[in-house]
Each structure stands twice: as structure tokens, then as C-alpha cells.
Amino acid sequence: MMSNSEIDKKVKMTIDSVDSMEEVRVSPFLKDRILHQLHTKEELSSPVFSWFTPQLQLVALCMVIVLNVYAYTILTSQEYETKVEEFVDTYDFEDETYTSIFN
């Protein structure tokens, strides 16, 4: 069992062990790997619709939603139903009942 002073000494040795660290040189091929990865990413990220940025996509989506909501409110409005009924009456598009000799 280590005494307190021995433990303190070991703790100090542990913390001071980094002082003996030597410099490690980076791999000479790392720069080439970085540039290669950069060029690969540049080639991948040039799609046909690159002008259609996420901001434009969001605006387009919002416009579609607004148009749909507007169309839905028009369709469900009373005025619309009345106009459709008038149209049906005017041009006689009511459902026809067919009689059959088999009834």
C-alpha cells in the first residue's frame, strides 16, 4: 500500500510526464488528402438545380401551402356551393335515373 507522500509523488510525476513529450510531425501526405477531399466534395456538390437554394425551396413550399389553403377555403365556402348548384341547374347536369327493363 502506497503512503500518501508516495501517491502525491506519483500524481506529480503523472502530471509532469507531458514535459517529456516530443513533437510529432504530421504525415507529408495529409495535405494531398485534404486537397483531394476538397476537390471530391466540389465535384459532388454542383447539381443541375444549384440555383434552387434551400431558402428558395422554403419560399416555394410556403407558396404551395398558401395556395392550397386558399383553394380549400374557396372550395368549402357556401358561395362556391351555391354557384355550383346554379351551374348544374342551368345546364341540367343533375344525376339521371335510368330505368331498366330488368327492375
Partner 1 sequence: MQWFLNNRLTEEALIEQLKLKNTAVFSNLIDTYQQKVFGTCLSFVPNKEDAEDLVQEVFLEVFNSISKFKGKSALSTWIYRITTNKCLEFIRKQKTKKRTGFLKPLFSQDFSIDKTNYFTEFNHPGFLLETKELNKNLFKAINKLPESQTLIFTLHKIDGKSYQEIAEITDRSVSSVESVMFRAKKNLQKLLYNYYKNEF
Residue 60: all three cell numbers together: 416555394
- Asked if 44 touches partner 1 (CB under 8 A), the answer is no
Minimum CB distance to partner 1, residue 49 (Å):
20
Minimum CB distance to partner 1, residue 43 (Å):
13
Q: With contact defined as beta carbons under 8 Å apart, do 10 and 2 qualify?
A: yes
Residues 4-43 that bind partner 1 (CB under 8 A): 7-8, 10-11, 13-15, 17-18, 20-27, 30-31, 33-35, 37-38, 41
Instruction: Give dist(CA 88, CA 53) in Å, integer.
Output: 46
Minimum CB distance to partner 1, residue 76 (Å):
47
Hunting for cell 368549402 — which residue is that?
A: 76
Helix spans in 23-53 (H): 30-44
Instruction: Give dist(CA 16, CA 14) in Å, integer.
Output: 5
What are the residues binding partner 1 (CB under 8 A)? 1-2, 7-8, 10-11, 13-15, 17-18, 20-27, 30-31, 33-35, 37-38, 41
